[in-house]
Chain A
Amino acid sequence: MQLHTLLVHELSELMEKKEVSCEELTRDYLQRIGQVEDKIKAFLTVTKEEALAQARAMDEQRARGEALPPLAGIPMAINDNICTQGIKTTCASQILYNFIPPYDATAAARLKNAGAILVGKCNLDEFAMGSSTEHSAFYSTQNPFDPEAVPGGSGAAAAVAVGEAAFALGSDTGGSIRQSAAFCGVIGLKPTYGCVPRYGLISYASSLDQIGPITRDITDLALVLNTIAGRNAKDSTSASVDGPDFKKSLVNSVKGLRIGLPKEYFKTGLAPGVAAKLQEAVRKLVELGAVCEEVDMPHTEYAVPAHYIISCAEASSNLARYDGVRHGLRVEAEDVLGMFKKTRIRGFGAEVQRRIMLGTHALSTGNYEACYMKALKVRTLVKRDFERAFEKFDCLLTPTSPTTAFKIGAKAEDSLAMYQSEVFTIPVNLVGVPAMSLPFGIAEGLPVGLQLIARHFDEGTLLRVGYTLEQNTSEIRPKPGLSR
């Protein structure tokens, strides 16, 4: 049986009925990894032995008749910027090339406690700074639909798309989860800021970062979100909402739902294939009873520069901890200042260096007001755009990205062009609202992603719209070119 093509909830059922053991399932996924990984290169570490040991333990638990949660025994991948106890976590950087975390990130621990089986740690851009994995210190991941295209900023989406993992955890500071999900034809959710604790997520820009799930269908998304959401005392910005049961949002109806179409997202620069798919999605939603209308979001074009300043400023402070003292790379020198400087120049790639210096610039005396404070004020304006839109609409629909996956090398040397590929996902991080990318068919051989955005802590509406589209169209699950 081709187990790796099945969904999480289907696999869960098979194991529940004892038609397949967790060990068989894990072996099937590890075999799949062996089959495609030399092309895709989605992983930085494959945890074969650990996965098999954990799978056998899970089978014993089931044999004893213990009641197990729905994710028990399901093979998963976790991005390599999320700490996993005893398993190397590099953040795709030389500066953490040998770092073995002594603890689990809260989200990783919750999945482990729910019995999910970690099969490996996924590639990303160094410190998640990029949208293509081309800034990984180790190698680039390939798009499963086109060997010459990028997968977006997270290898985890590629892994889920080709069946190397049944679901994955990624992180999203400007769009990494959503954009890579869109480029690879899977579902990616950036939850509300604070919905999933960030403890153990290697910090890039702390007011923007959020951990979220990547899956192949909406039911799976609800199962993973149920497991990872909810307050944890180790992240004081995690919100004290009682974890709702997201399965209750799996409702097949959008009747009467008011959906806003931000005009600014449909202007110039949108690839014709993407625009056509968007129109098709709107027609479908209207046919299903939703009300779709245009809405003005006048500060959209200012979100990217404001985000750039804020993320670099926060990164310059967060990345100060990599100094060759407590973990990771150290390059020896005569004195401690020399050791810091040599370690950091060797350990960080050019893009990370540039962002640290830009952030340092934005926070320095003389530039703080004009640069950093200015960006925070623009953040308020972008926030007000969303507040106004949500007075009238239940959710917003946009393209996830202006284009489908771009070619490897097309933007690697142009930091700004790379950043602007996330123009539609970035405003969401500034405002902290939840947003989901949903695959919606193919344009010129590559998947197109729809982005749905809702109010703070209203992930439920995103799941409802996603579930309804999933039940009523055949566009949602594009198959990658790599034969399954």
Chain B
Amino acid sequence: MKITEQAVEQLALLSRLDLTAEDQTAHTKSINVILDYLDLLNKLDTSNVEPAAHVLPLKNVFREDRLQPSLAKELALANAPEEEAGAFKVPRIF
């Protein structure tokens, strides 16, 4: 499993990281070292093995559908880099 610099460029976009060309080259190199190592898993035959996403046999954890107090708006906004009229403010979308 190897990855090209173009693929890393695409990963950076998906990950919302503004990589410089230099970063891109460095990351491609280091990611490929890791991917080489991860190939170790292919030594194992897992065709008849179920995946384990979780370790506890928990299923459908329900709670009663009751109204409960939530975080006050001022507190929720207290860490906002920018806010306006009780909402988080962001730069233009388009």
Contacts and interface: CB of A to CB of B under 8 A. Distances in A.
A378 B17 contact: no
A68 interface: no
B78 interface: yes
Contacts of B88: 325-326
B92 to A, nearest CB: 6
Contact of A344 (B15, B91, B93): B15
Interface in B14-54: 14-19, 23, 26-27, 30-31, 33-34, 37-38, 40-42, 44, 46, 49-54
A181 B38 CA distance: 28
Interface in A329-385: 329-330, 332-342, 344-345, 348, 350, 353-354, 356-358, 360-361, 364, 370-371, 373-381, 383
B18 A376 contact: no
A479 B8 CA distance: 48
B85 interface: no
Nearest to A381: B49
A31 B51 CA distance: 52
Nearest to A208: B55
Q: Is the interface of B mostly helix, strand, loop or mixed?
A: loop
Interface in B57-94: 58, 61, 63, 71, 75-76, 78-82, 88, 90-94
Contacts of B15: 316, 344, 353, 356-357, 360
A341 B17 contact: yes
Given A236-B61, A336-B93, A373-B51, A103 B71 contact: yes
Contacts of B54: 207, 237
Given A306-B41, A376-B51, A100 B79 contact: yes
B49 A305 contact: no
A211 to B, nearest CB: 16
A173 to B, nearest CB: 13
Contacts of A339: 90-91
B38 A305 contact: yes
B51 A356 contact: no
A305 B42 CA distance: 11
Given A336-B90, A360-B14, A330 B81 contact: yes
Contact of B11 (A308, A324, A340, A361): A361
Nearest to A328: B79
A297 to B, nearest CB: 14
A326 B71 CA distance: 14
Interface residues of A, number: 70
A416 B41 contact: no
What interface size band does chain B fall in? 35 or more
A431 interface: yes
Nearest to B14: A360
Interface in A380-398: 380-381, 383
B56 A194 contact: yes
B31 A357 contact: yes
Nearest to A231: B61
Contact of B16 (A193, A344, A383): A344
Interface string A104-131: 0000000000000000000000000000
Interface string A303-315: 0011011000000
B91 A377 contact: no
A239 B59 CA distance: 11
B78 A100 contact: yes
A193 B93 contact: no
Contact of B93 (A102, A335, A350): A335
Contacts of A336: 90-93
A416 B56 contact: no
B31 A207 contact: no
A282 B88 CA distance: 59
Given A193-B55, A302-B44, A328-B79, A371 B18 contact: no
B64 to A, nearest CB: 10
Nearest to B20: A345
A216 to B, nearest CB: 29
Contacts of A306: 41
Contacts of A329: 81
A361 B3 contact: yes
A379 B92 contact: no
20 contacts: A99-B79, A102-B75, A299-B44, A301-B40, A305-B40, A308-B34, A323-B16, A325-B80, A335-B93, A336-B90, A336-B91, A353-B17, A358-B31, A370-B1, A371-B1, A377-B51, A380-B50, A381-B49, A415-B30, A415-B33
Across the A-B interface, the 10 shortest Cβ-Cβ residue pairs: A432-B55, A376-B51, A327-B79, A330-B81, A341-B18, A377-B46, A102-B75, A236-B61, A345-B18, A377-B49
Given A337-B16, A344-B15, A356-B17, 20 more contacts: A237-B61, A306-B41, A308-B38, A325-B80, A327-B80, A335-B94, A336-B90, A342-B18, A344-B17, A344-B18, A348-B17, A350-B26, A360-B15, A361-B3, A374-B46, A376-B53, A378-B49, A381-B44, A381-B46, A383-B55
